[in-house]
């Protein structure tokens, strides 16, 4: 079994949870927690959570699927572990699947959201896209556009991209890609909604850079500068979906893979016909 999936139930009832924000289009909220284990700071987050119904989303599973997809493609990103655990929220016990990740900051680095950094450092009339190009982040940007198209990421706002600074070493970099929960079929909560979901639909997204269309953002990549990615193959489905039986239903696994694969094929066509 992959080491990024822990199916043996853990006791994480000691974690203290706080709200991130209300989820778009759903009634619940996202909760997060932190801990220090073995000298490492770990970050935890839950899928969409409702006080009455418990976990009503599968955003944490999406994080694992996208983690594995980016491993295949060879794109640097924050790694997530999916953990089966007992947690305590408002003095009530819940059994859930949650995400854990390590701090991506290196020693001596501080972080700031890209939108906040842009507000301070951009030139008059300079768009967030042009600002990133001027800072030498085009390769990162183009990889992000491809990823967000493949998974239809609806939430690449300005705080979901972070700038890491080391004042002593005078270094500046963007954090590895992270936070992909609001992607794929995150807002489908029934077999009927999954069945009716159009995997090629160009839904409007909350994006800080470029347009609100993941397809149109692909066109911002100059011809000949498409990211050099490992080729996704149909056999990769086995590794990407490994161990998810019993965590999400088979019909959802099938639809998620159908979405990733069809969008990958469309992206390849896009690259070859420009």
Please give the model's pTM, rounded to 2 decimal places. 0.94
| Chain center to CA of 247 | 19
User: Which pLDDT score, from 0 to 100, does residue 2 have?
Assistant: 64
pLDDT tens readout for residues 222-273: 999 999 999 999 999 999 999 999 999 999 999 999 999 999 999 999 999 9
- Comparing 194 with 18, which gets the higher pLDDT? 194
Query: Lowest-pLDDT range, 33-37, 162-166, 193-197?
Result: 33-37
Percent of the chain topping pLDDT 90? 88
CB 97 within 8 A of CB 82: yes
**Beta strand 29-37 pairing with 18-22:** antiparallel
Which residues, listed in sequence order, are joined to residue 89 by a DSSP beta bridge?
92
Taking the alpha carbons at both ends of the chain, their separation in whole angstroms is 41
CA-to-CA distance for 61 and 154, rounded, in angstroms? 16
Q: If you average pLDDT over residues 8-14, what whole number do you get?
A: 97
How many C-beta atoms surround the C-beta of residue 107 within 10 A?
5
Q: Where are the domains of the chain?
A: 5-102
Short-list 56, 46, 123, CA closest to 80? 46
């Amino acid at each position: 079994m992959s080491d990024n999936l822990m199916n043996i139930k853990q006791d994480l009832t000691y974690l203290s949870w706080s709200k991130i924000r209300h989820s778009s289009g759903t009634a619940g909220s996202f909760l997060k927690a932190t801990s220090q284990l073995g000298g490492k700071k770990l970050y935890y987050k839950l899928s969409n959570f409702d006080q009455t119904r418990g976990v009503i989303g599968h955003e944490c599973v999406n994080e694992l699927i996208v983690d594995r997809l980016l491993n295949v493609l060879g794109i640097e990103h924050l790694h997530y572990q999916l953990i089966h655990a007992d947690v305590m929220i408002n003095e009530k016990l819940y059994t859930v699947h949650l995400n854990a990740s390590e701090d991506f900051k290196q020693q001596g680095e501080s972080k700031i959201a890209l939108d906040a950094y842009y507000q301070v450092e951009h030139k008059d009339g300079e768009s967030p896209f042009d600002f990133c190009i001027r800072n030498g982040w085009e390769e990162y940007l183009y990889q992000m556009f491809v990823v967000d198209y493949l998974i239809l990421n609806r939430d690449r706002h300005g705080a979901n991209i972070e700038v890491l600074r080391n004042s002593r070493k005078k270094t500046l970099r963007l954090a590895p890609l992270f936070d992909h929960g609001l992607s794929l079929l995150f807002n489908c909560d029934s077999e009927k909604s999954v069945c009716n979901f159009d995997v090629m639909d160009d839904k409007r997204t909350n994006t800080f850079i470029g347009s609100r269309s993941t397809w149109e953002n692909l066109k911002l990549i100059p011809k000949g500068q498409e990211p050099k990615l490992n080729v996704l193959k149909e056999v990769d489905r086995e590794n990407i979906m490994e161990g998810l039986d019993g965590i999400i239903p088979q019909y959802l696994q099938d639809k998620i893979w159908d979405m990733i694969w069809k969008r990958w094929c469309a992206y390849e066509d896009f690259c070859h016909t420009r």
